[in-house]
Structure 1
Amino acid sequence: YLEKAKSYGDILIVGVDSDARVKKRKGPTRPIVPEHERVLILSHVRHADVITLKGVEDESNHLIKLVQPDTLVVSESTKHGEDEVDEKAQYCGEIVVLEPQAETSTSAKVRLIQIAKDAK
């Protein structure tokens, strides 16, 4: 996914939701993987040039407004409604939507664990 995203520009900036931001969006038992580990993992990926945390207090388009990229790459699984896409489009040249980055996600794994627990 990141390799494909990088192919759309010279510099790939990756925004990582802070623990507080994930907790606000997904609930008190999240995140499963803490922000420092998510950032560390991304720091070992050669395609990511800049990695930054997106705080809970940051408005949703803060990083996009700040950077104003020529190309904004979003995942099909995280793209938002048409209104939000239009808002993002004000601050970048184009928006590219890529297929989801993986077949599994932390959320999917949590659901499987819960199903297994409930089956007992």
Structure 2
Amino acid sequence: MRTVVLTNGCFDILHVGHVIYLQQARELGDWLIVGLNSDASVRALKGPARPINPQDDRATVLSALSCVDEVVIFDELTPERLIRDIRPDIYVKGGDYTEANLPERDLVTTLGGVVRCLEHVPGRSTSALVAQMSNSGRTWQETRRISE
């Protein structure tokens, strides 16, 4: 019997923070499923200028990572339907969440799963990369200092 791990997100511009996070998530189990927000849900969550990359491109890039076993695109703003359908053994979110403030926590535990929140890589985010691109080529470190 294998341990199924589920995570989800926009993964708009894949960066080292995403890769480390996904590798750590995969190490928690035998099968990593990534729930990928559709273009429509990314726009609803992040605004009309996002996503930068269309959902099929994002899914292809994620699928190419050896730590990712499956990618599932979903249209909803939250992954609750996906959690109900997959019933993961472990549901993983990044370090910008805590188990206490994770809305999906109760659903996951009710279905018999556990929640894990992993540390994120400081200074690495799609938002910082987008800001860097729009700030005349400043480095991500400069952009981060400006945005703090």
Q: Into which bin does the TM-score normalised by the smaller protein fall?
A: 0.7 to 0.9
Deviation, structure 1 residue 89: 2.5
RMSD over aligned Cα atoms: 2.4
| Correspondent of 2:53 among 33, 37, 41 | 33
Q: Equivalents in 1 of 2:71, 2:59: separation in Å? A: 7
The answer on whether the counterparts of 1:32 and 1:106 sit within 8 Å (CA) in structure 2 is no
**Aligned-partner Cα distance in 1 for 2:121–2:99:** 16
Alpha-carbon separation, structure 1, partners of 2:86 and 2:99: 20
Structure 2: give runs of 5+ residues left out of the alignment.
1-20, 138-148
Structure 1: gaps (5+ residues) = none
Residue type matched to 2:93 in 1? V
Choose 28-37 or 83-92, whichever is displaced more.
Answer: 83-92
1:111 offset after TM fit, Å? Answer: 2.2
Residue in structure 1 matched with residue 71 of structure 2 by the alignment: 51
Give 1:6's aligned residue: 26
Deviation digits for residues 31-82 of structure 1, max 9, x if unmatched?
A: 01211111111111111111110114x7531111111111111112255863
Q: Residue 115 of structure 2 aligns to a residue in which SS?
A: strand
- What does 1:107-118 correspond to in 2, within 5 Å? 107-116=127-136
Residue number among 65, 82, 87 corresponding to 1:68 in the alignment: 87
Quick check: 2:108–2:114 contact (8 Å CA) kept in 1?
A: no
How many residues are aligned here? Answer: 116
TM-score, normalisation: structure 2: 0.67
What is the CA distance between 1:112 and its match in structure 2? 2.8
TM-score by length of 1: 0.80
Task: Give the partner amino acid of 2:120.
Answer: P
Identity rate of aligned residues, in percent? 33
